[in-house]
Structures are given as structure tokens and as C-alpha cells.
Amino acid sequence: MSDEKPPVEICKGVNDLDKVVLRGLRGSSAEVYLYGGHVTSWKNNHDEELLFLSSKAIFKPPKAIRGGIPICFPQFGSHGNLEQHGFVRNRFWSIDRSPPPLTVSCNKAFVDLIFKPSEEDLKIWPYSYEFRLRITIGPGGDLMLTSRIKNTDGRPFSFTFAYRTYFSISDISKIFSEVRIEGLETLDYLDNLKSRERFTEQCDAITFESEVDRIYLETPTKIAILDHEKKQTFVLRKDGLPDAVVWNPWEKKAKSMMDFGDDEYKHMLCVEAAAIEKAITLKPGEEWKGRLYLSVVPSCYRSGQLAPLRVLQG
């Protein structure tokens, strides 16, 4: 009898919550909780965790899970009348048994989820919609999230959105830390620590020595997060999401968060594909699609630059 595990498995997770495990051909994997439609784990072919999940994460409704890839909809942050980052991240989703067609090769493991607002949700945000989410892990271990939001209401509505991705990184607090972001240089950003005042990025690459909370505007489709100590680079690609959020709470704020360890800021970095500055508006019957594609490549420094440069240029 073969002990080979299936590419898609539905099982129980923390606090007996339902989750789906996706397995790639060469040993990579991802875990998705139906609570929040939330990706909580993404591992490479060597079983190394690539996403940060707080040791104090609360897997209990109505609290959102701290870490992984929570989805912010229909509101990003606290800039609106809804709860921070919207409410779909702390609602139960269902497995979509009849999803619309999307191109997927037979070598990819995937699951389709769907969320529709309840009567209680409609009291909070009075619009009807269908939110379909496909999570895919490719044969090489790449992770893709594709969101489709369809307006099933009789009125237009507008929303903001983000894939709030927590990357696991080497110690960012070291004096000579070599964790950096490339691809956002010379761009304008809104600084959430300064009442969303607008600035222009002056550095060749973004490095970290204190709290950062910025919304970069009109960003490229590819962004690279270099981690010299781990000798790897995360490559974030996105479609339908013009903005990018960069966030690390640093020491003081980390200590004020009940679901976040005091020192955990050292080993996480949020880089989020988002649509924030200009809200997305859907007329009745219209559908929006936003895609996040994550991969990891080996990397090193050559004259202080990303090697190979084809990560961003290819």
C-alpha cells in the first residue's frame, strides 16, 4: 500500500477548524483554513516554512489569524467605517463545488473557496456579492491566489483590497541586516505613520531600522524581497493590484499587540499586493479579478545588487 499523500486533503486544524492542505509534486505544500479563506502555511520543497505565523495567533472566531495571508476586503486598514481590514478574514468560507473556469494545468494542486455575505454581514455592509478565491500550488512550489469578486447587487459598490502577506525572514533587527525590498524605488508612497502624508521613495532599496507602514502607489507588477542571510529572494507578482503595502510594527508596537510575540517583528515582513488609493468600483453584474503569485529563488549579492537581476527584469 502506498503511503503517498493526496495533492488536496481536507482535514482538521487548530481548534478543530477545517483546513485544506495542498501538496506540490516535489514536496512543497500550502495550508488554507476555511475560516477567513486564510493561507496559514507555505513550505518549499525542503519543508521550510516561507510565511510567518505568530506563535500567539488566535484561531478562534471572531478574531482574525495573525500571519500567513489574510485577505482584506471590502476595506483596507481603518480608513473607512468598517472594522479594520474588513470582515471576510474572520468569516467562514465554503469550498466552491462549481467554480467558474480558470486555466490550471494537471500538475497543480488547488482549491476553490467561495464567500457570500450573510444577513448579518449585509447589515454591516449592505451589498450583495460573490467572492471566489482559488489557491494553487504549482509543481515547483510557487503559490498563487486568484480572487474574483462579482457584484450581485442591484447597485454599484466600491471597495479596497489587499493580500496581507506575512513573509518569514532572517533577523531584520540586526545592525547589518541584509533584508531589503527592490522594485519600489523612486515611487510615491503614503506614510500611515504620518497621517498618510505623501512622499517619494529616495532609496535604491528599502531597508529597515524602525517601524514602517507605507502604501506605495502605482507599483510595478514584480517586487523582490531579498534575504541575504537565507540566500533567497521572494518574488511577488501581481495583477489587478496597483499598490503595495510595506509593514513591520517594530519593537514598541509589537509589544502592544496581544496576538503577536514581543520579538516576533524581527522575523516577519509584510509586503502586500493591494488596491487602496483608488477604490475599485463594480456596477451590477460586473466582476473584478486580482491575482497574487509568489515564488522563491536562490540569490546572493554582487556589488550590492540583486543577483540575478532577471528576477525583476524578466
Question: What CATH number has the domain bearing residue 91?
Answer: 2.70.98.10
Instruction: Give the separation between CA 251 and CA 210, rounded to whole angstroms.
Output: 8
Instruction: Give the separation between CA 292 and CA 103, rounded to whole angstroms.
Output: 15
In a domain, 308, yes or no: no
Any known ligand binding at 89?
yes
For the chain, what is the domain count? 1
Any known ligand binding at 66?
yes
Domain that holds residue 57: 8-298
In a domain, 31, yes or no: yes
pLDDT in tens, the chain (314 residues): 456 788 999 999 999 999 999 999 889 999 999 999 999 999 999 999 999 999 999 999 999 999 999 999 999 988 788 988 999 999 999 999 887 665 555 678 999 999 999 999 999 999 999 999 999 999 889 999 999 999 999 999 999 999 999 999 999 988 777 899 999 999 999 999 999 999 999 988 999 999 999 999 999 999 999 999 999 999 999 999 999 999 999 999 999 999 999 999 999 999 999 999 999 999 999 999 999 999 999 886 443 444 444 556 55
In a domain, 313, yes or no: no
In a domain, 67, yes or no: yes
In a domain, 47, yes or no: yes
Contact 166, 41 (CB under 8 A): no
Any known ligand binding at 313?
no
In a domain, 174, yes or no: yes
In a domain, 274, yes or no: yes
Centre a 10 Å sphere on the Cβ of residue 259 and count the other Cβ atoms it contains: 14
Q: What sign does the CA torsion over 274, 52, 230, 206 have?
A: positive
In a domain, 307, yes or no: no
